[in-house]
Amino acid sequence: MTRELFWLTLTVILTGILWVPYILDRCKVRGLMGAMANPSRNDKPQDDWANRLMFAHDNAIENLIIFAPLVLILNAVDYSSWWTVFACAVYFWSRVAHAIVYTFGIPVLRTAAFAVGFLAQAVLAGIILTLV
């Protein structure tokens, strides 16, 4: 496994588990049956942090759709460099930071974490374009 694929794997795992805390909050607020029921306008609202984490999870999924193909393209063309590994690591840690600061409701840091992740993706895309 390349180092880029390692960081992609960690990112997939992170994205895959972000739902757990907000679903546990849903069970706490609505009860187990209420959490498993179809959504309704009459549902009790979840805690604010859980709603923010749900939005962070949605954002993580949306950005994984961009990050994963970039890493897989690099793998397919058998290209790896210090920059690609660094960009993948930065992307992963920016997603960790984004989830944490979004959950705690820190708007400026949330935007900064997102921007860092976007720049890491831009670095990967730029490197791929130079290989063509």
CA distance 77 to 98: 30
pLDDT by residue (tens digit) across 51-106?
Answer: 999 999 999 999 999 999 999 999 999 999 999 999 999 999 999 999 999 999 99
Crossing angle for the helix pair 48-76 and 3-17, nearest 10 degrees?
160
pLDDT value of residue 132:
78
CA distance 88 to 18: 19
pLDDT by residue (tens digit) across 119-130?
Answer: 999 999 999 999
pLDDT by residue (tens digit) across 40-53?
Answer: 899 999 999 999 99
- Residue 126, classified by CB atoms within 10 Å of its CB into exposed (0-12), middle (13-18) or buried (19+), is exposed
| pTM above threshold 0.85 | yes
Domain 3-16+48-131: give its CATH code. Answer: 1.20.120.550
Residue pair 103/49 in contact (Cβ under 8 Å)? The answer is yes
